[in-house]
Structure 1
Amino acid sequence: MNNWYSICALNEGAEISIYDEIGAYGVSAKAFLADLGKLPDKAPLTLRLNSPGGSVFDAVAIYNALQRHAGTVTVSIDGIAASAASYIAMAGDEIIMPENAFLMIHDPSGMVMGTAADMRSMAEALDKIGGSLLRGYAAKSGKAEDEIAALMAKETWLDAGEALEIGFADTMSEPVKMAARFDVGQFKNTPPEIIEAVTAKDEPAVAGLETKPESTPGTKADPMPDSAAIRNEAMTYAKTVVDLCRLAGQPQMAAGFLASEASLEDVRKVLIDAKAANEPDISSTHPQQGPTPQAKPWGDVIARTFKRKG
């Protein structure tokens, strides 16, 4: 199973590697915290980061857990610590950045589909989470919150020297080669040298980190998921669910389907049942206006419509 983190116990302490998008592959911070909780309370930790970010909510949970850890936490930014990953880095008692590493901070963002109330709720959540990020960056750097807020608002990329000057890093080390490949096109101010570094081919892995073994003849390696494709698939699924609910006259049911990640087949079945339950009971004893007995039942009509749409 793919994962975005690994925790390796050492003779003294443990090494944690976050070398992918935080929260990817359906693995949340809950699993990370469970594994972290298995380590001795005072074990020294080395956290190696090379990540474009990911779930900001997971990042806040990880940051808080590392802050509570009684042992020392040393963070090494082995390539990029962008977005949510840069916030996790702030939990380190010491932050080490190679000369060619980068750190990026920006305002949190999110996606929601729904009513105006849903939009306002998301905006309020982002304001709260943004405040948490702001306080974490300010606490580590010693800078005023207004100064940090300005850097976050414009999406600021910092090399090791700049991060050291601001206070986001404590030590600058020798340059390293970036081992991971990231989609940094999602960011608006990505420096050209980063785009070149993370898309270059045949780069050797970062020293000291494990590399994945080559596939043996006759076997096929699992392809790495494309984060952009995953996002597009999620958007398509959400739009289809919303459209089906609107077509069935049950728009209020969309949020529940999306939250439970119901299959489109299950969505169709539930909507058809809901529509059937709301139809009047037409009988010869109590004639009512509406379709004649020869007319097609509504359930059949909507079922055919859904089949064409899905």
Structure 2
Amino acid sequence: MNSWYTIRARDGGAEVLIYDEIGAYGVSAKGFLAELGALPDETAIDLRLNSPGGSVFDAVAIHNALSRHAGSVTVWIDGIAASAASYIAMAGDEIVMPENAFLMIHDPSGLVMGTAADMREMAGTLDKIAAGMLRGYAARSGRPEEEIAGLMAAETWLTAAEALEAGLATRLAEPVRIAARFDIARFRNAPPALVDAVETPDPEYAKTETDIVDDANDVASVPDPAPQPVADDPDGPMADASTAPNATAIRAEAIAHARAVVDLCRLAGQPQMAGRFLEEDASLDAVRSSLLDTKAEAAPEITPHHPQPGRSATTRPWGDVIARTFKLKG
């Protein structure tokens, strides 16, 4: 299954990537928070964002979990942090933006089907969510809530320099290549220059430069297999070497998969399980599911600091209607 996030071990800490729409592919924040909660409390987190936003409920849960995390959280906006993604960014102890990156804030929106009463309930829910996000942006920036409210109502896109001046970023970095799996033009005020600048999606774009160098070194360190003789089939054409699988690509894919399995096991505090998963050639989804089951059996909650999200017994009926018919967008 595709996922909009990745959490992996990195240099004594953890790297968290959100490079797609939050809550996409049917993957909610529950899995994200479970993996985040598996990290030791003092783990330093580098959160890398390149997202158009998505489910505002998920974003609020992620923001709150990151704010509670005892270790340092450094947010890197690797292109775009729009809508709900910009609210997640506010949980960083430090917010770093490349000079050509953008941050966008606006009022949350949603869709509901039902009676007039359902729609009034929806309007009230949106007002409450917007008020909470407003307080978060204002607290981070030090600006009056009235000023932030105006920026949200207008769907305001901020360059890195503007975000720094507004107090919504703490440091600038060198420009980066901006690529995205999402359509920036769907926003009403998206800067035309940004729409034109976003490159065609590249399956390798989510990798950092360090990842690419490491993968190249790993592949170079694996000796090529002994050449195999090519048989000439008398009843058919000679086997064409150009149609054979690329051995280098296969090795690189296998190495990347093994590293991902080991990272997941380390993050879950179960490094001894990696060998079994690799022997079974388990998929990453199967590894993640098994690790979460193991964690659930060990303790009823991920940690006292990271309780699982979920509906309480007091959830009102209209909430079920909302959950079935639409996703709130931040």
Percentage of pairs with the same residue: 66
Give the corresponding residue for 1:5: 5
Q: Within 2, Cα distance between the matches of 1:108 and 1:209?
A: 36
Partner of 2:69: 69
TM superposition shift of 1:185? 2.7
1:184 Cα deviation after fit? 1.9
- 1:204 positional shift: 7.6
User: Unpaired segments of 5 or more residues in structure 2?
Assistant: 216-243, 247-318, 326-330
Deviations 1:91-133 (A, max 9, x none): 0000000000000000000000110011001101100000110
**What does residue 232 of structure 1 align with?**
none
Given that residues 179 and 204 in structure 1 are in contact (C-alpha distance below 8 angstroms), is that contact kept between their aligned partners in structure 2? no
> Could you tell me which residue of structure 2 aligns to residue 38 of structure 1?
38
CA distance in 1, matches of 2:124, 2:156: 23
**Superposed CA RMSD:** 2.6
Structure 2 vs 1, CA of residues 67 and 146 (structure 1 numbering), >3 Å: closer, same or farther? Answer: same
Deviation, structure 1 residue 183: 1.1
Q: One-letter code of the match for 1:67?
A: S
Residue 66 of structure 2 aligns to a residue whose secondary structure is helix
Q: What's the offset of the Cα at 1:12?
A: 1.4
Asked whether the 8 Å contact 2:13–2:44 carries over to 1, the reply is yes
- Residues 196 and 202 of structure 1, relative CA distance in 2, 3 Å threshold: farther
Report the TM-score when normalising by structure 2: 0.63
How do residues 158-307 of structure 1 correspond to structure 2 at under 5 angstroms?
Answer: 158-200=158-200, 205=205, 207-208=208-209
Aligned to 2:85: 85
Corresponding letter in the other structure for 2:209? G
Letter in 2 for 1:80: I
What is the CA distance between 1:77 and its match in structure 2? 0.2
Secondary structure of the corresponding residue to residue 183 of structure 2:
coil
User: What residue identity is the alignment partner of 1:154?
Assistant: A
Paired residue type of 1:24: A
Report the alpha carbon displacement of residue 11 of structure 1 after superposing the two structures with TM.
3.4
Kindly indicate whether the alpha-carbon contact (under 8 Å) linking 2:18 and 2:48 is maintained by their aligned counterparts in 1.
yes
Structure 1: which 5+ residue stretches go unaligned?
A: 219-254, 262-310
Query: Which has the bigger relative contact order, CA under 8 A and spacing at least 6?
Result: 2
Runs (4+) off by over 4 Å: 199-204, 209-212, 255-261
**Contact 1:178/1:204 (8 A) holds in 2:** no
SS of equivalent residue, structure 1 residue 2: coil
Question: TM-score if structure 1 supplies the norm length?
Answer: 0.67
Q: Which has the larger radius of gyration?
A: 1
Could you tell me how far apart the structure 2 residues matched to 1:184 and 1:209 are? 27
Query: Residues 50 and 260 of structure 1: is their aligned pair in 2 closer, same or farther, counting only changes over 3 Å?
Result: closer
* 1:175 Cα offset (Å): 0.2
AA aligned to 1:120 is R
For residues 260-280 of structure 1, the C-alpha deviation after alignment (integer angstroms, 9 at most, x for no partner) is 68xxxxxxxxxxxxxxxxxxx
Where 1:136 maps in the other structure, the secondary structure is helix
Amino acid at match of 2:130: G
Query: Which residue in 1 is equivalent to 2:139?
Result: 139
